[in-house]
Amino acid sequence: MVLTEIKRILKTLTRLEKFQLVQFLVMELAQEEQELTHYFKPESRHGSWSQYNAFEAAQALQLLLQGNKR
């Protein structure tokens, strides 16, 4: 079922049914989150890359751009 079809069907629901659907979806998302937690250890740090203070990357990009000017 395509999302556009689902949206069309949702518009036909009563207000109560829409609230029940939202409650169901929130519970489903919470369950999925709970299932994902076993992949991560509490209090552990997971690295992430940021462009801030990435001087080596900036230098490599500048060299690349200078090479294209020639």
Q: Are 13 and 21 in contact (CB under 8 A)?
A: yes
Q: Is the pLDDT of residue 36 over 70?
A: yes
pLDDT reading at 28 higher than 90: yes
pTM reported for the whole predicted model: 0.50
Q: What average pLDDT is seen over the chain? A: 86
Q: What is the pLDDT of residue 70?
A: 61
Domain range summary for the chain, segments of one domain joined by +: 1-39
For residue 5, is pLDDT > 80? yes
Distance CA 39, CA 30 (A): 15
One-letter amino acid identity for 31?
A: Q
Mean pLDDT, range 15-24, rounded to an integer:
96
Residue 11 per-residue DSSP state: T
